[in-house]
Amino acid sequence: MKILTATLVADGTSDRTLLPVVQFLLDEWSPWPHRILFAEGVHNGPLAVRLPRALQLYPCDLLFVHRDAESAAAATRQQEIELAKRTIAEPPSHICLVPIRMTESWLLLDQQAIRTAAGNPHGTTALQLPPAKSIEKLVDPKAKLFEALIAASDRAGRRKRQFKPEAARHRVAELMDLSSLRQISSFAHAETQVKQFFENHE
């Protein structure tokens, strides 16, 4: 039986957070067993240089390319990915993962996952999370996520200073109900791409 190999090329090492998201999308739509590779060490330089290098090191059947939209329009980031892919002689099919602003915006939907990732699953401190319809309008979703994780930890003083929200963020993606991401337009666009890929490769 065919095993589909997918490679995730991300903006930085912290974006390993997206691996559970890619896993979820493949579990939902792939008719074949699958494995996911993370293009470690391929984060610096222009995308037109990084993509060929990633495929040399982590060959795949399906390429997931992550670019945070940040201050640019999602369509602009998607165009960057398309242009970079043209530098590859025989490119695999690809999926654009373009969270509005940054990856952390996708991690603000599941309050319980944030509390558990912060090591305090039964906490009751208000986290002040934005409603789903407002998440993609946040100027700094990373700061909001870290603020929520620190609040959820219910730590004070020295223990609060020792808490590392940067590490806890990865656990949020592993714990959250990823189907909730379907409320977010940028995720819905990525899922549509995945669905279409498998429909075209039945």
Sign of CA dihedral 30, 31, 37, 43: negative
Q: Which residue has the higher pLDDT, 18 or 155?
A: 18
- Rounded Cα–Cα distance for residues 25 and 40 (Å): 21
Please give the distance of CA 141 from its chain centroid, rounded to a whole number: 13
* pLDDT tens digits, one per residue of 103-128: 999 999 999 999 999 999 999 999 99
Domains and CATH numbers, the chain: 4-100+184-199 (3.40.50), 104-175 (no CATH)
Torsions phi, psi of 37, nearest 5? -110, 140
**Model pLDDT for residues 47-58, shown as the tens digit of each residue:** 999 999 999 999
Full-model pTM: 0.92
User: Is it the case that residue 24 has pLDDT exceeding 90?
Assistant: yes
CA dist 49 and 94 (Å) reads 16
Tell me how far apart the alpha carbons of residues 190 and 202 are, in angstroms, rounded to a whole number: 19
For residues 120 and 134, what is the distance between their CA atoms, to the nearest angstrom?
Answer: 26
> Judging by beta carbons within 10 Å of its beta carbon (0-12, 13-18, 19+), is residue 184 exposed, middle or buried?
buried
Nearest Cα residue to 74 out of 96, 52, 48? 96
